[in-house]
Amino acid sequence: MQTNHSNNQVLLVDDEADIREVLCIALKDLGYLVLEADNGEEALNIFKDQSPPIVLTDIKMPTMDGIELLKRIKNENPECEVIMISGHGDMSLAIKSLKHEATDFITKPINVDALEISLKRANDKIIMRNKLKAYTENLELLIREKIELQDNLSALGLMIGSISHGIKGLLTGLDGGIYLVNAGIRKKNLNQIEEGWEVVILMIDRVRRMTGDILLHTKQRDLDRRPADLLSLVSEVALTVEPKAAKYGITFIRDFDAMAGEGLIDAGYISTALINILENAIDACTHTKAAVDKRITFGLRTDKRHIIFTIQDNGIGMDLDAREKIFSLFYSSKGKKGTGLGLFIANKIIGQHGGTINVDSVLGHGSIFTLKIPITSAQKVSDPVKVM
């Protein structure tokens, strides 16, 4: 018979060389690789070194007997199958060994058929245990996948609900704009037409931003990190939002370190994150009732280990409760005007870069968002830079 498990070693322990010799031949005939020991101590050393799945041991041996060896082996590895060899008058010892989790016992003089049956039993147990392990692992994987799927489905459901809600709001806005334009045309009132047209443009801009954000969220692609000139990146981001800031009378301050150098980042993603946070800063400034000069400071600097972007505003600020929710999917305090995707996405992008976003905010006084991205080894922060 050939054994059918991958590790077909058997550790044979007997103090009598003749018996070992006979058993060794029988075991080899049955297809096993035989490791031999003539006492318990040596057997334990071999066991620790080779981890054979099956041990065949005599019960009566000088110094360490078979039962003691059985206990120690089970202590080392409870899954090892130990078959005891007992003399004719040792029935009580053989039964005692079963109490200590021996797989089976065979009696001397050894009948090869009985040995084969015992070994088959031990092998069957090993195969069953391995199958059970594989099933359990598979089951755990399936459960994990199911939970993930459920999470994704509920996030998707939440998202579809929110998108529909958002679109409804945008359509209301568009209807309002179109109504104004039509009324203006009817009355030949250019101011009203312009007013309505501005609403239409604003709503289209929101659709565009919302679509971009949703695509970014649903299709989580891997980062495309390339060396990017940090000063150029922040300058372009500033150019994108400055007109809007100007429109609301907000002073926009660029506080960039011209020596910031290059960063190994996904520039498109980082721009998206920065624009989302800057747009929030503009919103925060437009919503404040405090009689202060509205101001946003956009900063770029590096230290030895990080690229650091800061966005500070003196707008409405947040209380602790809001501060704790802002990165949650769909959290927004802006009603129909916000989807609550901006910071969720920004946080995800910075997280993907191995970085963090820290927020300090005081209700009524403003907020500062600090984005820290670790400099990877491939980055050359102090390289000469292209100044815009």
Cβ nearer to Mg ion, comparing 162 with 280:
280
Q: Residue holding tokens 């009566």? A: 60
Q: Give the H/E segment covering residue 125.
A: helix 112-187
Cβ nearer to ligand ATP, comparing 265 with 275:
275
Q: Residue holding tokens 């579809």? A: 160
What residues from 333 to 362 belong to the interface with ligand ATP (CB under 6 A)?
Answer: 333-334, 338-344
Q: Could you tell which of ligand ATP, Mg ion, none binds residue 307, using a CB distance below 5 to 8 A set by kind?
A: none
**Which range, of 146-154, 280-288, 349-357, 380-388, touches ligand ATP by CB under 6 A?**
280-288
Q: Residue holding tokens 């001397």? A: 108
Sheet holding 33-37, edge to edge: 33-37, 9-13, 54-58, 81-86, 104-107
Residue 166 interacts with ligand ATP (CB under 6 A): yes or no:
no
Positions that interact with Mg ion (CB under 5 A): 280, 342
Residue 174 interacts with ligand ATP (CB under 6 A): yes or no:
no
Site string for ligand ATP, 217-256 (x = CB under 6 A): ----------------------------------------
Q: Are 368 and 360 in contact (CB under 8 A)?
A: yes
Structure tokens at 64: 């360490």
Residue 94 interacts with ligand ATP (CB under 6 A): yes or no:
no
Beta-carbon contacts of 350 under 8 Å, excluding residues fewer than 6 positions away, are: 273, 356, 357, 371, 373
Number of amino acids touching ligand ATP (CB under 6 A) = 23
Q: Give the H/E segment covering residue 282.
A: helix 267-287
Q: Could you tell which of ligand ATP, Mg ion, none binds residue 333, using a CB distance below 5 to 8 A set by kind?
A: ligand ATP
The 10 Å CB-count burial string (b at 16+, else e) for 363-374 is: eeebbbbbbbbe
**Which range, of 47-55, 65-73, 189-197, 324-332, touches ligand ATP by CB under 6 A?**
324-332
Least gap, CB of 272 to ligand ATP (angstroms):
11
Cβ nearer to Mg ion, comparing 235 with 280:
280
Least gap, CB of 283 to Mg ion (angstroms):
7
Q: Could you tell which of Mg ion, ligand ATP, none binds residue 312, using a CB distance below 5 to 8 A set by kind?
A: none
Sheet holding 295-302, edge to edge: 251-256, 295-302, 306-313, 366-374, 356-362
- Do you find a cis peptide bond into 109, omega within 30 degrees of 0? yes
Residue 123 interacts with ligand ATP (CB under 6 A): yes or no:
no
Residues forming the site for ligand ATP (CB under 6 A): 276, 280-281, 284, 313, 315-318, 322, 326, 331-334, 338-344, 367
